[in-house]
Structure 1
Amino acid sequence: MTEQQRCSWANSSPAMQAYHDQEWGRPTQDDQELFERLCMETYQAGLSWSTVLNKRAAFHRDFHDYQIQAVAAMTPAEIAAAMDDPAIIRNRRKLAATVTNAQAWLKVAAAEGSFAHYFWAFIGVPQQHDGQTVPTQTPLSARLAKDLKQRGFKFIGPVAAYAFMQSVGAVNDHELNCAWR
């Protein structure tokens, strides 16, 4: 059996391959999955994706498996405990943003029926680029980031919003030779 061709970035480690093959670019309607992916993109700001991926299990442990209600209710003492965990990215602003974003997420979900409903209505039809040039942001990701900020989200800009869009299948940036394109 021959191995399927995947995006070149995904070949750096088994964890990256699994993320690419099983998650990245797959549209999802699941609020908890969307929340985790948004959190991961905020953690990644200024770091490599492999760093975030390698710390994913620890983030799950420290952030209640991304159960949105539980994260929204986290106390300053829980954030302080997370700051002492060397297995995660210990950036106080990013960790605090996780809690703030969970609280904002719940407000969006209450107003729109679910965050997924809000997000996919905002995005419309998933985009596909030419496969040769991959932008770091687009006018749509800038509008999404601005709207999320107006709704109380923190640590989200056009670049993180675009990476989130890629992650959850709102844009298809798989390389031209990738079997998942």
Structure 2
Amino acid sequence: MSATTAEPDGKLRCRWSAAAPEFLHYHDTEWGYPVSDDFRLFEKLSLEGFQSGLSWRTILAKRENFRTAFHHFDFHRIARFTQRDVERLLKDASIIRHRGKIEAVINNAKRAVELVEREGSLATFVWRYAPDTRQQSAPQTASTSAESIALSKALKKLGWKFVGPTTVYAFMQAMGLVNDHVADCVIRPKIERARKRFERP
């Protein structure tokens, strides 16, 4: 996979970063940087679930609305949502009004609380599935991996929903478990440095 020139500095980046104006900032400042904050990890898993069948551009445009609607993805608070909250969210035109996906976030919040009680943190659990960098596929050539399949199965076994292998792999790319920036992308070395400084929880 090759890179492409993206404005404003003319440096090479992953080709998808030029597909929409808002992608450049997301590509340069978020995508692929290692994350150990539980709420951010839960947010991304939730938003990847909402993205199923849709584009990331749609989700990114509504991300702040999702954060407001779901209390910045504090899963302790979301776990206490009731049917009244489901109905409230189904009337919220600023987010994706899909009953199954909304109910999945609430269900997954409950499962996240249980997981944290057992493991100490969500980060501790998911980072166990970070692949050996020497065994990764070439950047942006895969939509799943042995690790994303394993993490998907582990989460499903614990009762999580909307966490298929493709969804989980996209989560792993975004949260830095995988550095999937292409070889000549200007951001790839920054991710590598961040990963070296990153201490797995």
Normalising by the residue count of structure 2, what TM-score does the alignment of the two structures yield? 0.84
Is 2:128 the counterpart of 1:118? no
CA contact (8 A) 1:125 1:170 kept: no
Whose Rg is larger? 2
Q: Shift in Å at residue 128 of structure 1?
A: 4.2
Unpaired stretches in structure 1, ≥5 consecutive residues: none
- Which of 168, 172, 179 is the aligned partner of 1:161? 168
- Residue identity opposite 2:181 in structure 1: H
Would you identify which runs of 4 or more consecutive aligned residues in structure 1 move more than 4 Å?
Answer: 124-128
- 2:29 counterpart residue number: 22
Is 2:12 the counterpart of 1:5? yes
- 1:39 counterpart residue number: 46
- Helix, strand or coil for the counterpart of 1:27? coil
- 2:110 counterpart residue number: 103
> Could you say what the CA RMSD is over the residues aligned between the two structures, in angstroms?
1.6
Identity percentage of aligned residues: 39
C-alpha offsets along residues 75-102 of structure 1, whole Å, 9 cap, x if unaligned? 1111111111111111111111111111
- 1:91 counterpart residue number: 98
Unpaired stretches in structure 2, ≥5 consecutive residues: 1-7, 189-201
- Residue identity opposite 1:6 in structure 2: R
Normalising by the residue count of structure 1, what TM-score does the alignment of the two structures yield? 0.92
Question: Number of aligned pairs?
Answer: 180
Q: Shift in Å at residue 62 of structure 1?
A: 0.8
- Residue identity opposite 2:68 in structure 1: R
C-alpha offsets along residues 1-20 of structure 1, whole Å, 9 cap, x if unaligned? 93432211112333211211
Is 2:141 the counterpart of 1:129? no
Q: Shift in Å at residue 43 of structure 1?
A: 0.7
CA contact (8 A) 1:129 1:172 kept: no
